[in-house]
Chain A
Amino acid sequence: MVQVERNSTLEVRTPEDVVKVRQEVRNRTAAVGFSLVDQTKFVTAASEIARNTIDHGGGGVAQIETINTAGRRGVRLIFQDQGPGIADIKLAMQDGYSTGGGLGMGMPGSKRLSNEFYVESTPGQGTRVTLVRWKSN
C-alpha cells in the first residue's frame, strides 16, 4: 500500500510553469535523499512530460507527491490534461516519433529516467501520465 506523505499541485500552462515544476521536483527528490544523478534524471523526466502537457495537452496540472511503501521512499508525479489525448500510446512511446516537431525523445526518454511510468489517455478527453522514482538504497 503506497502512502502519500506530502502532496502539492502545480499549474502547468506556461514555459515558466515548467521551470517551477522542475524546481519542485528537485526540492522533493533532494528532501527524500536521492543522489545528485537520480535527482537530475527525475527532474529531466518531469521537464519533458510537463512540456508535453502544454504542447500536446493544451495545459493542465502536475501533482507532486512524496510517497512510501514497505520502507521505500520515492516521488510520484501525475500530469493530467484535458487535451485531445493520445491516439496510439504504443507509437508515442517509440524513440524518435513526434507529432509536435520535437525530437520524439520526451516520452520514451522519460520512461527510461523513471522506475515506473504509466500513460492513460482517452481520445477527446485528455491524458494522464504517472512517473515514479524510488530512492535507491
Chain B
Amino acid sequence: MEEIPILKVGRCLLVSIQIDMHDRLAMALQDDLTRRLVETRARGVLIDISALDLVDSFIGRMLSNIAAMARVLDAHTVVVGMRPQVAITLVELGLTLTGIQTALDVDRGLALINRLIDAEGEDGAGGAQ
C-alpha cells in the first residue's frame, strides 16, 4: 500500500512528496493530513514539493483543499520548494493556488509558520486571518 509519510515536527506536520502521485494517492494524503491535524492538534502544515516535477490542476486543487481544511482546523499551510519550471507551467495553466502561502525552502517555510502561529498566540485565534 502506497502512503506518503506525515511527520510531526514541533507544532507542525511535515509532508515531503517524493513520488509522482496518482489522483487516488493525492486524495488519500488530503484525508490523512486532516485526520492527523485533529489527532496531533498541530498548528501548521508544511508541504515540501521540491521533488515534484509537475503540479497539474488536480494536485493544485489538493493543495488548496488542504490549506482550506487546515484553516478550519486552526492551522496554517505553507508549500515549499516549488521548482521554477513547475511555477511557470502553473501560471500558464491558469492555477492560482488560492489560500496557499509559499516559501522557498523548508527552513523558511517553518520560520513562516512559526511567525504565523506566534502572531495568533498559542491557543489559536479561531477565525482570525
Partner-B contacts on A (CB < 8 A): 14-16, 18-19, 22-23, 26, 36-37, 39-41, 43-44, 47-48, 51, 95, 102-103, 105-106, 108-110, 112-113
Contacts and interface: CB of A to CB of B under 8 A. Distances in A.
Interface of A is mostly: helix
Nearest to A96: B94
Interface string B19-33: 011111100000000
B60 A44 contact: no
Interface string B56-97: 111011000000000000000000000011101100111100
Q: What range describes how many residues of B lie at the interface?
A: 20 to 34
Nearest to A101: B61
Interface of B is mostly: helix
Given A37-B88, A112-B94, A22 B20 contact: yes
The 6 closest A-B pairs by CB, nearest first: A15-B22, A109-B93, A40-B85, A15-B23, A47-B56, A105-B57
Interface of B: 20-25, 53-58, 60-61, 84-86, 88-89, 92-95
B57 A43 contact: no
